[in-house]
Amino acid sequence: MDNEVILTGPEAGVATLRIHRPDARNALNQNVRRLLAAHFTALGQDEETRCIVLTGGEQYFVAGADLRDLAECSAIDMHLRNVHLLWRAIAECPKPVIAAVNGYALGGGCELAMHADIIVAGENASFGQPEIRVGIMPGAGGTQRLARAIGKFQAMKMLLTGLPISGKEAFSMGLASEVVEDGKVQERAAELAKIIANMPPLAARQIKEVLLAGQDAPLDTALMLERKAFHLLFGSHDQREGMRAFLEKRKPVYTGR
C-alpha cells in the first residue's frame, strides 16, 4: 500500500509526489491521505527540499474520494477519522507546492489541487466539486477555497450543479496559475519547480507564510506581517549574497541561511 504515493527526489531541490492508484483513477482513500500527510510533513522539514510537485501523472490527477471507502460510514465514523488533520499537514507545509493537473481533478482532487500554491493545468483537465450528486458536500475546504479562488457566483454554480470546468475555464476564472497543452503539464510544473528551487528558500518560505496568513486578515494587519518578514530577511546570508551577486554581475548561490 505504500506505493500508492510515490516520492521522487529531492533532486536539485525539487521533490515530486505522485499519487498512484491507476485502477481507481487515483481516487483518495484513507491510506493515500495518510501517505500524503506523512510525505508533506517530512518534506516540509527536509533542508534539501525547496519545492514540491504534486501530481497524479499524465492521465488524471485525482478523480475524487473513493466512495467504496465512504458509502457505509456513519457520522461518528467520519468524525473519528480526523481526516482534517491529514489535510492540515498539506496546508501547513512551509515549502512551495505546485500541483500538476492532467485529467480529472474532481471532489477531493479539486480540493487537493487547491491546497497547492501554484496550479499548472492541462487544457483538457477537468476541475469540479460533484459531491452534491451523491448526497453530500465538499468537506476538505472545497466551499471555502473555491469561493476565495473564483468568487461566490462561479463557486456556487460549480458546487450546486456539480458540473465540471475545463483547464482553460479554470485558468480564466483564476483557479489555475497556468494552462498548457495536456502533454506539457508535467514538464512545465518541473520547470517552475526548478526556478523556485533556485530562489532563496528563506524568502520563498516567508512569501508563502505571509501571503496565506494575510489573505483573510485586515489590510493593515497583513501589511504589518509583510513588513516584519521583509525586515527579517535582512538578517539572512541569502539577502547579502543575492544583492552582492547582483552588483557583481554573477549568479547567486543561495544556502537558506
Report whether 90 contacts 40 (CB < 8 A).
yes
Domain boundaries of the chain, sorted by first residue = 2-197, 201-247
> Using CA atoms, how far apart are residues 17 and 8, in angstroms rounded to an integer?
7
Model confidence pTM above 0.85? yes
Burial zone of 222 (CB within 10 Å; 0-12 exposed, 13-18 middle, 19+ buried): middle
CATH of 201-247, picked from 1.10.3470, 3.40.50, 1.10.12, 3.30.110, is: 1.10.12
Sign of CA dihedral 163, 167, 169, 175: positive
Strands 118-122 and 97-101: parallel
Distance of CA 45 to the CA centre of its chain: 17
By annotation, the residues acting in catalysis are 65, 108, 111, 131
1 has pLDDT over 70: no
Superfamily of segment(s) 2-197? 2-enoyl-CoA Hydratase; Chain A, domain 1 (3.90.226.10)
pLDDT tens digit string along 201-236? 999 999 999 999 999 999 999 999 999 999 999 999
Residues above pLDDT 70, as percent of the chain = 100
> Using CA atoms, how far apart are residues 231 and 141, in angstroms rounded to an integer?
33
